[in-house]
Structure 1
Amino acid sequence: MGRRWQEVIIKTAEEAKQNKDYKATLTELLYQLADDDFILAYRGSEWLGLAPHIEEDVAFSSINQDTMGHATIYYNLLEDLGEGKSDDLAHMRPAAERQNAIILEEVNGTGDYLTEPRYDWAFAVVRNYFYDLAKKIKLEALKTSSYEPLAHAAVKINMEQYYHVMHWSTWFKQLLSANEDAKKRMMTAVEKVWIDFDNVLSFGPKAKELAELGIIEAEETIKQRWISHMKAVFEELEIDYPGELGSKRGNGRIGEHTTDLDEALKTLREVYETDTVTAW
């Protein structure tokens, strides 16, 4: 009978690479964490100069910088594990190899950043609040990961994540407590995000192995923590809880994506492709 995961701590990338099954499971999660942060930080960056007021423009820009930095940490962990150069992992992988949740790649609204951007602030608030809360719950679970470099990264990232959640929680509660127009827009955004948000809380095909190896707590445990928190928030705001979460448009954890991701990646790699040797 093999050793229980609680008795095994992997301290270095070299140790992880010696265990083929462990490495394969670990990299699955790292790609999810990295790709989620990477694409959402990009979508957030498209709000630069377009946020509701100057203070929010500064705050949102700072959050996006943090989030892209978090993605970089995860891509660096993947590079340490022999997955390739971190910059290439971020910029050059095609959409079919990405493991981000579909709702995170969706465009901010109609138009684009340079041509008549008609972005939906309610959607931005809801998507970021729901995601950053889920991310914080995952980070708390990763603090005791059996992969020590990931546990250390989680502690570091979580120090910034507290403020991200607080920021979006404030927006979420204030807008849902404002006038009827604001509340209507927010509830429309909640419905839009809700039907695809289950994918954010999914760990994909290796969910069972991730828990068994102690890399992160069980998927269902993480999901129930998020749901419990959200039920309390909806109750506080005296709003009906929307019910079961969905993954309407597919499973990004297995490479199912929309054309929104293709277009985003095309833009993201334009500068990088001009000089792939430079550190970006």
Structure 2
Amino acid sequence: MVDGKPMDQAYQSALLSLLYQLADDDFILAYRGSEWLGLAPHIEEDVAFSSISQDSMGHAAMFYQLLSDLGEGDVNHLAHARPASVRKNAILLEMVNGPGHYLSKPRYDWAFAVVRNYFYVQAKKIRMESLKNSSYVPLANTALKVNMELYYHLLHWKTWFGQLMQAGGEARKRLEDAIKRVYADFEGVLSLGSLSKDLAAFKIIESEDILKEKWKLSMKPVFDSVHLSMPDRFGMQSGDGRKGEHTKDLEDALMTLSEVYQIDPAATW
């Protein structure tokens, strides 16, 4: 029901497309964050990053629950059993934590983690602020809950970003390189998919252009404070995850994530 009226098919299709994006984005990035446990720069960051990743996985569960409430299936199935080809997360979020081979030291790039998480959480907060006024009330209520935790997530990554940029030398150089890598695929994060116009028309969320402009406006003072020019445009060079285009990184991650679930999908976890 929307405003006391039955939900029409076009509205539901647009709503489902957004919910899958929100759920899949948080699900895969939370997993990438969990991989840092024991490998973060210091023990306090191990605890902090683990807590943020746990929150993000909880947010994913909330969005999967909304999908389940709309008849899309069991929450655990939505999270663990869907193949990579139907996932709607942005490709940037599925990428391994750095270059190199699995569990080799070069694979874990802290600069990349800081920039990817900071830029993503800022975009996520802007979306949640918009969704608080969503025409779909259950989503608006969920956005209110999610948004309460994002203040701390955003403060955490903004602090890391500012300190490393202001440190100069190798730290700044690595962050600047990470910014280029993230920008190369950040269009995928900001995209609302093929039904973006319907989402705005139905007032489920503000338009993609408005949200993108809000992200730029929110980040410009941060870039100015560290004396760095913001790149002019975003890219989507690795493909469009909103269309189900993904990399082997996602396939490998899903194999690990679903290993226990696949042992007994009917079990209560």
Task: Give TM class, smaller chain.
Answer: over 0.9
| Residue among 98, 106, 112 paired with 2:102 | 112
1:124 aligns to what? Answer: 113
Structure 2: gaps (5+ residues) = none
Pair 1:171 & 2:170 matched:
no
Structure 1: give runs of 5+ residues left out of the alignment.
Answer: 1-8
The answer to whether the Cα contact below 8 Å between 1:106 and 1:261 also exists between their aligned partners in 2 is yes
Specify the alignment match of 1:274 in structure 2. Answer: 263
Residue-pair matches, total: 268
Residues 126-166 of structure 1: per-residue CA shift (max 9 Å, x gap) = 00000000000000000000000000000000000111001
Q: What is the RMSD of the two structures over their aligned residues, measured on CA atoms?
A: 1.4
Tell me the residue number matched to 1:151.
140
CA contact (8 A) 2:186 2:234 kept: yes
Which of 224, 240, 249 in structure 2 is aligned with 1:251? 240
Tell me, yes or no, if the aligned pair for 1:48 and 1:61 is still in contact at 8 Å: yes
Report which stretch shifted further, 237-246 or 186-195.
237-246
Question: SS in structure 2 opposite 1:83?
Answer: coil
- Equivalent residues in 2 for 1:69-84 (5 A)? 69-84=58-73
CA offsets, 1:199-223, max 9 Å, x none?
1011010000000001001110000
- Who is 2:54 aligned against? 65
Give the structure 2 partner of residue 52 of structure 1.
41
Distance 2:38 2:84 in 1: 28
Q: Counterparts of 1:53 and 1:199 in 2: how far apart (Å)?
A: 31
Tell me the secondary structure at the aligned position of residue 167 of structure 2.
Answer: coil
Distance in 1, matches of 2:123 and 2:111, equals 18
Q: With structure 1 as the length reference, what TM-score do the two structures score?
A: 0.93
Q: TM-score, normalised by structure 2?
A: 0.96
**Partner AA of 2:58 in structure 1:** G
Residues in 2 aligned to 1:234 and 1:214: alpha-carbon distance in whole angstroms: 31
Which 4+ runs in 1 deviate beyond 3 A? 115-118
Q: How far does the alpha carbon of each residue in 1:147-199 deviate from its partner, in whole angstroms, 9 at most, with x for none?
A: 00000000000000111001000000100000310000000000000010011
Confirm or deny: 8 A CA contact 1:87 1:279 kept in the other structure: no
Contact 2:20 2:88 survives alignment (8 Å): yes
